[in-house]
Amino acid sequence: MESQTNQVVQLVSAIRCALEERTGLEVVQQILDRLSVLDLEARSVHSLTPQIPVQFDKGLTRAIDHIPASLEFIAQTLDTARPYLYWQPDGGQFYEEGSDIGRSYREGNMICTLVGPVNSCFYSNDLFICLFFLQPQTLYRDHMHEASEMYFNLTGPCGFRLGDADWADYPGDSLVWNRPWAAHATRVYQAPFLSVVSWVGNINGLCRVVPRDDWLALENKLTPTEPLESRIETGMNGHALPQV
Ligand SMILES: [Fe+2]
């Protein structure tokens, strides 16, 4: 237990230190201000039974391997804390009822809540911070929400479509700020996507999909072409849940 809590403390501390060196965006300071009033010591860590969807285990290893040298301290602390983390898929529970989030996203994501109101390592009701994983060739469809959101991308390149702008690629160690109700989408190429995603503002608000007419074309374009055996080998066809 002591080992678990200490590793989680170190991981959150590493992320906080990295953000303190990347304060160019207003939202970063808002996140740091909310973190500064929390007790981020081991005594405040919630005890969650570790779990990870088995089909993403190798993908998470690949993602950690893709974290650039500039974020090496985060990669190290994440690798150490990894056995103690509680990952869960977003099957649409963060969305308005009936939202068409798409199979690509539904089957290709998992979330580990570090700070937040539910199933989190540290409790907060006005700050949400999670590790957000998407497997390769996933389309995370256009959506919006009231909360102000920051992606601190640990891996890349990955594509973002912000509002009506065209897709743009972002490397590992990059920041994206989605202001309240601003539409955004993410597409993942060969490298698994791993990002620290933070919400401030109405963190209990639901996401709303923003329909676009190119989703199916994008998802077909991202669909892997390697043999089925290879996809199973890399975990891209797995569905089993969960595994400690
Ligand atoms: Fe978002």
CA 149 to ligand 1 center in whole angstroms: 6
Average pLDDT, whole number, for the chain? Answer: 91
Q: Does residue 3 have a pLDDT over 90?
A: no
CA 145 to ligand 1 center in whole angstroms: 7
pLDDT at position 6: 95
Structural domains present in the chain:
2-233 (2.60.120.10)
Cα–Cα separations (whole angstroms), residue 155 to 123, 134, 188, 189 = 26, 11, 10, 11
CA 66 to ligand 1 center in whole angstroms: 23
pLDDT tens profile 82-113 = 999 999 999 888 999 999 999 999 999 999 99
CA 144 to ligand 1 center in whole angstroms: 6
**Residue 78 CB coordination number (10 Å):** 25
Helix axis angle, 2-20 to 26-36, nearest 10°: 140
Q: Does residue 128 have a pLDDT over 80?
A: yes
% of residues, the chain, pLDDT over 90: 87
Around ion ligand 1, which residues have CB less than 5 A away?
149
pLDDT tens profile 54-89 = 999 999 999 999 999 999 999 999 999 999 999 999
* Confidence category of residue 228, pLDDT binned at 50, 70, 90: very low
Q: Does residue 229 have a pLDDT over 80?
A: no
